[in-house]
Amino acid sequence: MTGDLLPVLQRSVELTPPVFQVWALLGTVISEGIHAWARVLQFVLT
C-alpha cells in the first residue's frame, strides 16, 4: 500500500507550494509518531 501511495505523494508534493509541503511533512511526522507510540503501548500492555 505504501508503495502505491509513494508516487502519488511525490507528485502532489511537486505541485504544492513549499508552505503546504511543510505542513504535509509535519502531519506525516506526527502521524508516524502516533503510530510508533501505539506500537510501543501495545507491546507494553500485552
Domain spans of the chain, in order of start: 2-45
For every residue of 7-35, DSSP letters joined together read: HHHHHHHHHS-HHHHHHHHHHHHHHHHHH
pLDDT digit string, tens, across residues 1-46: 556 877 877 777 676 677 878 888 999 999 999 999 999 999 999 8
> What is the pTM (predicted TM-score) of this model?
0.46
pLDDT at 43 (0 to 100) = 92
Burial category of 18 from C-beta neighbours within 10 Å (exposed 0-12, middle 13-18, buried 19 and up):
exposed
